[in-house]
Amino acid sequence: GYMVGSLFAFMMIAQRVAQPLVGLARLVEDYEEVGAAIGETASVLNRPLESSSNSAGLRPKLVGEIKFNDLTFSYIGTKTPALDRVNFDVPAGTMFGIVGRSGSGKSTIARLLQGINRDYSGFLKLDGVDLKEINLRHLRQGLGVVLQDNFLFRGSIRDNIIAGRPGLTLSDAMRAAQLAGAAEFIERMPNGYDTYIEEGSPNLSGGQKQRLAIARALIHDPTILILDEATSALDPESEAVVSSNLMRIASGRTMIIVSHRLASLTECDQILVMDQGKVLDVAPHATLLERCALYRQLWLQQNRHLDGRHGRLAAVPPRLA
Q: For residue range 131-164, what is the model confidence (pLDDT) as tens digits?
A: 999 999 999 999 999 998 888 888 999 999 998 7
Pick the more confident residue, 259 or 44: 259
| Percent of all residues in the chain with a pLDDT value above 70, rounded to a whole number | 91
- A 10 A CB-CB count for 71 gives 21
| Residue 311 binned pLDDT confidence (cut-offs 50, 70, 90) | very low
Indicate the average pLDDT of the chain.
86
Q: Could you give the CA distance from residue 257 to residue 176 in angstroms, rounded to a whole number?
A: 19
pLDDT band per the 50, 70, 90 thresholds, residue 90: very high
Torsions phi, psi of 147, nearest 5?
-100, 180
- Please write the tens of the pLDDT for every residue from 158-199: 999 998 788 889 999 999 999 888 898 999 998 999 999 887
Question: What are the pLDDT digits (tens) for 17-55?
Answer: 788 888 888 888 888 888 888 887 787 777 766 665 556
Higher local confidence (pLDDT), 293 or 306: 293
Radius of gyration of the chain (CA): 26
Q: In what order do the strands lie in the sheet with 254-258?
A: 143-146, 224-228, 254-258, 95-100, 270-275, 278-283
Give yes or no for residue 316 having a pLDDT over 90: no
The mean per-residue pLDDT over the stretch 224-244 comes to: 80
Q: What are the structural domains of the chain? A: 66-314 (3.40.50.300)
Cα 134 to chain centroid distance, Å, stands at 22
Task: Please report the pLDDT score of residue 291 as a whole number.
Answer: 94
Q: Say what the pLDDT of residue 53 is.
A: 54
pLDDT of residue 181: 85
Most confident of the ranges 64-73, 251-260, 261-270, 297-306: 64-73
What is the reported pLDDT for 39? 80
pLDDT at 317 over 90: no
Please give the Cα distance from 123 to 69 (Å, whole number): 5
Give pairs for 201-208: CB < 8 Å, separation 24+: 201/152, 204/152, 205/238, 206/233, 206/234, 206/235, 206/238, 207/234, 207/235, 207/237, 207/238, 207/239, 207/241, 207/242, 208/182, 208/238
